[in-house]
Structure 1
Amino acid sequence: MTENIDVVVIGGGYAGVMAANRLMQRDDVTVTLVNPRPTFVHRIRLHQLATGSDGAVVAYEDVLHQGVRLVTDTVTRIDTAGRRTTLAGGTTIGYDYLVYAVGSGSADPRVPGAAEFAHPIATLEEAERLRSVLDAEPGEPAVTVVGGGTLGIEVAGELAEAGRAVTLVCGEVLGPYLHPRVRRSVAKRLTGLGVTVLEGPDTKVTAVTRDAVRLGGGRELPSRVTVWTTGFGVPDLAARSGLSTDALGRLLTDETLTSVDDVRIVAAGDSAAPSDLPLRMSCQSAGPLGAHAADTVLNRIAGRLPADISVGFFGLCVSVGRRAATVQLASKDDHAKRFAIGGRLALKVKESSYAGLLKHLSDEARKPGSHTWPFKDGKRRQLVEAKRGEAAATAERAA
């Protein structure tokens, strides 16, 4: 009789759900998914939930294989020696293999007053709190959005389209990922919606108060509601459990996504740092990394060598309000090109991405092992080899 193999997946986001579904290819594998919430958070819709234009919660029955056991709790520690996870509720769950997919959240802003008076938006609870704050403000109070990345652009666009007076404080440049040509187009659209866009070194936020935002250039902006969209952090579970992490706290792995400390632990999504060269935190990489993590576990169970990752990107989709979007095209190794898609086609691509991400998960739940990702990064191996060469040279000089 074949011995049953227990796999615990920590984290029920895009990467964790993809991994859990894909692991169901084998009848002798029991998969337990541990997640703090009983529902799936469609994270790329959180800005819409916060602004009241849409929802971001999906039932797990719609995206998770029916054979996966869902445990609503938080893992507080991983006992690598005993192969057990300790939950906040006091119970433990043993594993033969563990998929570490804890995702990311808001980073500590480290700006005086930001933790007390600014509203982050990286998690469901944060987005719901911000929505309550916005709903409670009478009239059209001044809203300041801090952070000129994709999330900041999308939040600012949605709020302005809803009639709010919005200032977007970028700190440096608007949309740092965007090609300059594409950046100008996005800035024009934001301005057309009535958003005041502040760029440059003097726009770095130095303090946040209850009613204002102070900038490095000495300027003070009135702000009844301050939205904080800059920076992402990861849970410190790996570090607290004695596992090696990068400077941000992501689990250090090899190119198969296997922990450098423990062959039984595999990482996926925003919390993975393969070869200390992590991919961009995004839903684009989360699904493929989740699938690859599952494949690594399945290969080890079958006694086969797991493959190295090869996850490429197609670009970046950013909405600017509900009636416009831009698709920034990129090389597969994630460098922005000067080309972009705009107009109705871009809006269609952006809108289809919302449903498409859920469809990837539900298709994998229906037919485990079916998910494929057409974008491959052929240059990553060169980067990894170069990094290894630098490390070897540094070690030789130190000796």
Structure 2
Amino acid sequence: MSTNKTHEIVILGAGYTGMLTAARLARRTRRQPVRITLVNPSARFTERLRLHQVAAGQQLKNFHIPDLFAGSGVEFHQAAATAIDTAARAVTLDDGATMTYDTLVYALGSRTDTSLVPGAADHAWTLDDPRLAHRFSVRLDEIASAGGAVTVCGGGLTGIEAATEIAESHPNLTVTLISAGEPGAMMGEKARAYLNRALDRLGIIRKVGVRVTKVLPDAVRLDTGETVDSDLTLWTTGVKVSALAAQAGIATDAKGLIITDPTLRSVSHSEIHALGDAAAVRMAWGQVHGTCQTGVPQAAYTAAAIARILKGKQPKPFRIGYFHQPVSLGRKDAVIQFTKADDTPNRWYLKGRAAVIYKEQVSSTPPIAFKVGQHMPVPVKLSTGGRATRRPA
């Protein structure tokens, strides 16, 4: 930095990416005239990796964001962003405040999209909010006492984890998993076979190769014409992002994701760094997906990149390669598919108790990194993808 003026860094969103970016920036810029403000509607950190556990009736530890950043220099502002003025470099918040920035980190994440299927927004539940997940668990207990039926729509990793968690904790329920594709299709043959055995063991009914055309108060209708009785429906398929970036004139793709350059900065506004679910990031082998495995390395990279820019240096391009697909199958079982850099499966996988321990380590690491990472370097497990990511996207 060439002047003594305080450099204002505003981070929008306190999910996994926003939290870790703030923690790492606090350590990397502590001797510089920098002010870091983290903006989020809730003062509680939401462990989205574990919301299927909340939905099944389990209690999670309460992580209070201001407490996690106590003594770090990071200022927390509880509010939601409603508009971004890129010309004035200012963010308008729903509490009436306006916050100016020199550097903006856009980490607002995504939400489940219930707008594409009639009735989903009115009659289906999602795993976007811990309060909703808790209310779902209360309703789940009521339905379980009557031996009712629960339907999970979406055969991705979230749907699989939710269905198995519910079936394990409420064995009296009839649990149906509905999926347009084969559950665990991204896994190798052996890991997928283990997954299906776990679904069989838990008594989960599968409707595969079908799509939901309507969600009713007590059922879901499929494109085959079949109607599946459902006292409680959980929607886990499809995502959407905030329209905030597009409304501000920031370059976005057709889905509203901010288009980034190789250093995760907006191609239209270089002072804006976009990461996590809200960013369109491409490697040579394709676009990265919105998961914690992507967001955490992006956060570590972004903190280092901003610190370099403040020193007048140019950051090297971001590179990532995937290395695993961890899936919990209730509290007592799990399967981990290890992958190539482009997220296709390799020959190795982990199952059973060893996989449970592995998955728990993956889920529990981020909150620890938020606290410790403010004061000392914390390694982030990261594959740069080797040769697969050295070519330009």
TM-score range, shorter chain: over 0.9
Q: Which residue of 1 aligns with 2:238?
A: 231
Q: Name the TM-score, length of structure 2 as normaliser.
A: 0.92
Q: Which residue of 2 aligns with 1:166?
A: 175
Aligned residue among 14, 18, 21 for 2:20: 18
CA contact (8 A) 1:272 1:278 kept: no
C-alpha distance in 1, partners of 2:187/2:78? Answer: 38
Q: Which residue of 1 aligns with 2:139?
A: 133
Q: Which residue of 2 aligns with 1:308?
A: 317
Percent sequence identity over matched residues? 36
RMSD over aligned Cα, in angstroms? 1.8
Q: Which moved more, 1:45-54 or 1:128-137?
A: 128-137
Aligned residue among 341, 366, 374 for 1:365: 374
C-alpha distance in 2, partners of 1:38/1:321? Answer: 28
Cα distance, 1:62 vs structure 2: 5.6
Q: Which moved more, 1:50-59 or 1:160-169?
A: 50-59
Moved over 4 A (4+): none
C-alpha distance in 1, partners of 2:271/2:113? Answer: 29
Aligned residue among 257, 265, 269 for 1:262: 269
CA offsets per residue over residues 23-69 of structure 1, 9 Å max, x none?
12223111000001011111101000111123264222564363100
Aligned residue among 154, 179, 188 for 2:161: 154
C-alpha distance in 2, partners of 1:372/1:53? Answer: 28
Q: Name the TM-score, length of structure 1 as normaliser.
A: 0.91
CA contact (8 A) 2:57 2:138 kept: no
CA contact (8 A) 1:311 1:376 kept: yes
Q: Which moved more, 1:258-267 or 1:135-144?
A: 135-144
1:375 aligns with 2:383: yes
Cα distance, 1:173 vs structure 2: 1.1
Q: Which residue of 2 aligns with 1:178?
A: 187
Cα distance, 1:381 vs structure 2: 3.8
Q: Which residue of 1 aligns with 2:5?
A: 3
Q: Which moved more, 1:211-220 or 1:63-72?
A: 63-72
CA contact (8 A) 2:273 2:302 kept: yes
Cα distance, 1:372 vs structure 2: 3.9
1:243 aligns with 2:245: no
CA offsets per residue over residues 341-396 of structure 1, 9 Å max, x none?
012111110112222222222221232x5444441123134360xxxxxxxxxxxx
Q: Which moved more, 1:56-65 or 1:168-177?
A: 56-65
1:103 aligns with 2:119: no
C-alpha distance in 1, partners of 2:381/2:330? Answer: 29
* SS in structure 2 at match of 1:40: coil
Q: Which residue of 1 aligns with 2:50?
A: 45
* SS in structure 1 at match of 2:19: helix
C-alpha distance in 1, partners of 2:345/2:148? Answer: 36
* SS in structure 2 at match of 1:70: strand
C-alpha distance in 1, partners of 2:327/2:68? Answer: 24
Aligned residue among 94, 104, 118 for 1:112: 118
Cα distance, 1:268 vs structure 2: 1.5
Q: Which moved more, 1:30-39 or 1:344-353?
A: 344-353
- Any stretches of 5+ residues in structure 1 without a counterpart? 385-399
Q: Which residue of 1 aligns with 2:74?
A: 68
**Which amino acid is the alignment partner of residue 239 of structure 1?**
A
Q: Which residue of 1 aligns with 2:302?
A: 293
Q: Which moved more, 1:329-338 or 1:243-252?
A: 329-338
Q: Which residue of 2 aligns with 1:123?
A: 129
C-alpha distance in 2, partners of 1:252/1:126? Answer: 31
CA contact (8 A) 2:321 2:342 kept: yes
- Any stretches of 5+ residues in structure 2 without a counterpart? none
* SS in structure 2 at match of 1:140: coil
C-alpha distance in 1, partners of 2:239/2:10? Answer: 25
